[in-house]
Amino acid sequence: MRSLWSQWPRLRESLAGKNAVLFLDFDGTLAPLVADPSQARLPAATGEALAQLACSPRVVVGIVSGRELAELRRLVGLRNICYVGSHGLEWVLPGGRPHLRATPAQRRRIRHIADELGRALRGLPGILIERKPASVAIHYRNASQQHARKAVAEAERATRHHASELRLLRGKKIVELLPAGATSKGTTVEALLARLSRGRRSCLVAYFGDDATDESVFVRLRKNGLGVFVGKPRRTTARFYLRSPREVCEFLQQLCTIVS
């Protein structure tokens, strides 16, 4: 894995006259990770760069996150971009209506399981249960190791008990229970790319992400796209890396000088 900056001269040259589709994760990629997810904010400079890129007729911008769609749109605040929330279960295109890939029965089951987890983990310091339209997440970033292990064990128990209905997704200090099925960030981004790239010749596709949940996108772009891991270099299917959200912002600002 190489630094994306090492490829900048070649990218700058290859982007001349090209269209681009950029998908980026939110937490840890565009916005720095924080102890309390509700306190996350998109840096002003990053938001300005995204807005400028989204206004270019040559660029399509999409934000991809585990956060629920409504919250993601509120945090980013841009209208003319794509949004993918809840790890691909929710998505919306500019000017379109939101889509949710979960049946009413699946949503009822998730609400029931969220209630069970709430009772099992009630009173544990540092444990946060986040209810979403079609999934439930357990955050343990601020918990002790003992309490974190209990939270993960309860999520694993629920998954085993409802094995035909649920799957467990692991991320940075978080586990999430989602409806069983093949929907992921990767499958949803792939489907949206098929739409967005239609009629666009010489289109560069890039995805930026910082977590294990982003690997489903990286693997799909391994041959025909640009996968960029954000953080300290580690084992990943992404071919390139940037070290921090600050570097992501700097890279977006450099892109603005080419496509504006």
Catalytic residues: 25
Token pair, residue 146, equals: 């003992």
CA distance 70 to 163: 28
3 state DSSP class of 220: helix
The contacts of residue 53 (CB under 8 Å, 6+ apart) are 22, 59, 61, 252, 255, 256, 259
Instruction: State the residue for tokens 């799957």.
Output: 167
Q: Would you list the DSSP string of 127-194? A: -EEEE-SS-EEEE-TTS-HHHHHHHHHHHHHHHHHTTTTEEEEEETTEEEEEESSS--HHHHHHHHHH
Q: What are phi and psi of 5, to 5 degrees?
A: -65, -30
CA distance 95 to 163: 37
If you ran DSSP here, which 8-state letter would residue 83 be given? E
- Contact yes or no for 195/93 (Cβ under 8 A): yes
